[in-house]
Chain A
Amino acid sequence: MADTRDIELKVNGESHAASVETRTSLGDFLRHGLGLTGTHMGCEHGVCGACTVMVDGEAVRSCLMLAVQANGHEVTTVEGLADDDGTLHPLQEAFWKHHGLQCGFCTPGMLTSLAAFLRDNPDPSEREVREAISGNICRCTGYQGIVDAALDAAKTMQGN
């Protein structure tokens, strides 16, 4: 008999109630339970960073958290970064401008990680940006475009 729990949580500002098997990871729940497939599951043991989401504003690995542990909390996924009218987040805009992605698999984790990072460090150095994404693996870009995008987004966000 599967061990299930009823949970209530907010995802990208919207309230959800669901019954989840307790061994379900938060990432799998977001994708399969809520259909929010923007969060990508990569290594599923906390190394690649692709599945990063924000829980109560802090970037965490959604493969290393159980869905049941998000009960009563607020989750932001990559789908929650842009405005409701479709206006991209300054980070998304900068990733587009600086070619900060190629295949796009690591991008959701890069964006959610950097969104949390730039909130706490609005004026980072290049080294700090590289350290911030040291837990996010990208196999296409060589990181240069991503770092450029993060630094450019930081400038834009300070201007606003």
Chain B
Amino acid sequence: MKPAPFTYHDPSTPEEAVALLAQHEDAKLLAGGQSLMPMLNMRFVVPDHVIDLNNVAGLSGVTDTGEALQIGAMTRQRDLMRDDAVRARTPIIPEALENVGHFQTRNRGTIGGSLCHLDPAAELPCLMAVYDAMLTAHGPDGAREIPFAEWPLAYMIPTLGPDELLTTIRVPYWGAGHGYGFVEFARRHGDFAIIAVAALLEVENGTIRRAAISIGGADVRPIRLTEAETALVGAAANTETFKAAAEIARGIDAMSDAYVTSAYRQRLAATLTERALVKAGERANGSA
């Protein structure tokens, strides 16, 4: 028996889950369990109550609204990769998910779980940043919307109240023919990225019309490279442009840890940003 004793709850509706959260102090929500279960097994967390979301109805699935994908927080990573709407509208999501753990963990792991766990090097937060996703959380007083830019508060802490439940993620997608590229560097396949970069481009007659770049793994939250995005819009979609824009990534604030220095992360960010942009440029319709 690895986890410390807790009381287990398995509500069947989001309202019940929120009510249980309000009712119990020191409760943890259990989504796919691919992060919380290891922390329970190692007793890094010892909650009095575990509220299992796996039997809650209506929290998973993808709906295409015509301009955005509405993704239920309990949608499993494997199901996102297989979903037709996700593959057609946001092909960068399956491309990035190939790097999330292993297929056995993606069978359980959920999008909402990853966003709430908020590991700085996780791929899903990086993707939500590049799309300016909108998150919906339900609390005792009803629902509220949170733009992803405001979601990370600090290291592994989202701006989610202790009695709130993340229910939906809205991902406004880009037009057909947009270019996309997700690249990351990790020591082993499936490890958290030392640096991950997500890039989206819209190109018309060889000119970049719209650009978004997000860098994960560098800081406690994904970094949007807005300066480079501004520089890209209106420029010719070619390798020189991408190289120059990627150089801006060298100036980001990057963490140092026991394995990787800040300078190495900055250097990697520039290299991978260039590769992500080149990939996105090659895939964009309208590139010369």
Contact = CB atoms under 8 A, between A and B. Distances in A.
Most B C-beta atoms less than 10 A away, residue of A2, A28, A60, A134: A60
A60 B37 CA distance: 13
Given A25-B2, A69-B54, A134-B190, A113 B37 contact: no
B271 interface: no
Interface in B1-25: 1-8, 10
B94 to A, nearest CB: 14
B5 A45 contact: no
Interface stretch (A16-24, A81-89, A91-99, A138-146): A16-24
B108 interface: yes
A135 B52 contact: no
A117 B6 CA distance: 35
Given A46-B37, A65-B33, A52 B104 contact: yes
Contact of B105 (A28, A132, A135): A135
Given A64-B37, A65-B37, A3 B7 contact: yes
Contacts of A65: 33, 37, 108
Contact of B6 (A22, A45, A49, A132): A22
Given A46-B37, A64-B108, A65-B33, A135 B103 contact: yes
A123 interface: no
Contacts of B104: 49, 52, 59-61, 113, 135
A64 B8 contact: no
B1 A63 contact: no
A5 interface: yes
A3 B8 contact: yes
A44 interface: yes
Interface string A38-71: 0000001110010010000011110111101100
Range of interface residues on B (Cβ < 8 Å): 20 to 34
A69 B189 contact: no
Contacts of A14: none
Given A45-B41, A69-B54, A135 B1 contact: no
B21 to A, nearest CB: 18
B161 to A, nearest CB: 26
A64 B41 CA distance: 8
A93 B7 CA distance: 44
Interface of A: 2-3, 5, 21-25, 28, 44-46, 49, 52, 58-61, 63-66, 68-69, 113, 117, 131-132, 134-135
29 contacts: A2-B5, A3-B6, A3-B7, A5-B8, A22-B6, A22-B8, A23-B2, A25-B2, A28-B2, A44-B41, A45-B38, A46-B34, A46-B37, A46-B101, A61-B108, A63-B2, A63-B37, A63-B41, A64-B34, A64-B108, A65-B33, A68-B8, A68-B10, A68-B52, A117-B103, A134-B102, A134-B189, A135-B101, A135-B190
